[in-house]
Structure 1
């Protein structure tokens, strides 16, 4: 295994009274071989713990599918469906699906863009009330709409509400008390940053009005179920998430289930105890009935349709089918962060898993020798996650520079290297549509989305554009680079304009269709004039 060192700076040592306690706590974990704790440069971020894993304790070295086309091809192969059985099959005769049936399928989906108008208090109250128990005549216990092992209901529901997004509910964190049907304030005015969300979930969080966090109270179930308690809590969290997601559109609320959420960074905002464990999360916001229709789903799926087309047309990869393996340390880091959060409530602690700890032996005085090479910031993620912060070699010619500039604008990155992968830098299908539009405006060339999916780096896109006759910009001002007669055909141009217009409307949260307006900068860029 290639050895990796991520060294925290030696001048940010943690408070002497804090670091040993956290380090000792981590060393008690069976998966941890050694630990070192430093204080983050931003003191509000708390502590950063660097740990090495015991042999055999880290996640297995399973190659992960990172390329979006490879991931979609894997999905389209239906890997979970068994077609190897040869027994006699009994057809299930059923009537054809009605329009009402199809509409139900369209309503139950992940909503990633929300209206900016506040959610009516009554709608939220009715939505959450389905998590409360009732008393039924002749039944001795409280009854709820979802099942729980032993009727214990150990999974708590917490909310984070953004300011001015729900009527009569100030911004902050809350506990939903099921029996009293109340939102109990925990930390008024609390603020959660999008950075705690992984991948594209940050975009859904941006326009959301609130978040729901499902947290297990293991102390409320372990006396009955022992070591099975956590698994049963996970099952209950899944049932709750399904109930909420399925019924939310009835209250003009949309939900999106989110993975990769770093609850350890915000655990202190919910005053959870040592036997609480985060299980799952959702973000939600206001939607309209028009957003739940088949037509709305089709409009918002133009980029996905292009991805499916690319996946079905893409040639089989040479060699191994799983491309660009990544060492999956995230699971262990998240587990250890949750482990610390449950037992250490002084301040937030984020865990980073490394191959070996840098510098002197554990517990020794940590002072950097004079002239020592500066190390990575202590709150920096592992190298695979900070690819955007350390881009590959700069663009090698004018065309690559022009493409890199477009990427940087679309992705909102300070710079982009010629071998950086669009999707590794946080790109998604909607941003790809925006980039395709920018390429078309810059080079007067229609670039099909399929080919952009197939050429996800600056250098690959430049090579592809050269096959279309596109050359480097002719001046330092970056004038359009196109060969004579390069204007796209009217039909293709109209089709592309339709796709980009739909994607732009979705990214701007619907515009006229959803009653929203673009930002001043977006309006100015559309009209070709500077902002006021």
Structure 2
């Protein structure tokens, strides 16, 4: 209550400062309530509703400005399908093995165990075909990719790429270009190469021997791309080969006990990072993928209970220009996810709370303090809005061209889709009134303002105007005649007065 008047006071959430002249300057709000088109909107309510969708893991709603118009944008991180099941399975496998293993504590026995080099898989002499690789090289560079050339990668390129994982020194103390707990190097590298995608390498599964720098053939044949979850299948289909990092628990648990698999995960992360950061030097791009169905890989690579699947990557040949294309062009799976999420929000929220754009991200950017970096998200929204759609539909006739041009000018954008809803792309009622007057002036045609709201897209409005024919289009002489009549009526009224 007000201490002097006794009137009720409200904590509005507005921030302000009291100036010396007695006025209060509004500075903003201390919460996430915003006002767009006269409607007060709680951004957390949009975020909460989005997170109730089964495909959404994280969601952040915000406001961005374009051409002086404010619009809602939603940043959504989709779930990795089946992730929980996969991790539970791996954890169960780890616990089963750790419970049955015996940790070696005697220093001499530990050294003897290390010298066995159990992380290098052994095969009976002559039991498997081999592809001898050309010498490994150590170069430098960076590339990350989800779209790949369909031409085959040369054996030299492929050999140097895998050479990043090669053993640099053979003996009691092996050396690699990445670290490993206790120098054990229990993480093994398996691959599947597609048909005609690596010169001199037949389609099938292989084990990469880092000591002999050779591929050991395991099983011929294709890899079913359905092992990947839907959001990764398009990228996997484009790739020329897959890399699977697998920990041999018998090569580390005796020294590290229940922490053995954790050590394997750290090593696999270092290996994956090395491949990602250096692949571009050899004209190869790679992309690390999330969870996948591992059963076909386990069977083809002849893995057992002692093995723990850790990570997977896809790769292939690349060109520099492809990087920009991948960054700016959303995949069909991404578009489908955004469409489904928007339809869900339209069922749950009032129309004024529906985001004009939904941006799908693999993860949310964080500040140094671990908070969501909203400034970086706003920059991403501006980039997405400035990028034309992958399959733009141009205006089909003169009327559509006029409407589209005027709408672009009012919104301050370089392109609009003829099928986009006016309100979805940031238009307001006031802006549509301006659009109406501009269209009438440009086309020299009159129609009721309400029709702009009843036909809220370039195409539908153009179709409506096109059906009006010339009957509603006033001629210049007719307009001039009506103006002269109005002037005469004014003069007559003035003389009578």
Indicate the TM-score class for this superposition, using the shorter chain for normalisation: 0.3 to 0.5
Q: Which protein is richer in strand relative to its size?
A: 2
TM superposition score normalised by structure 2? 0.45
Q: Higher relative CO (CA 8 A, sep ≥ 6), structure 1 or 2?
A: 1
Q: What TM-score, normalized by structure 1, do the two folds share? A: 0.42
Higher-Rg member (1/2): 2
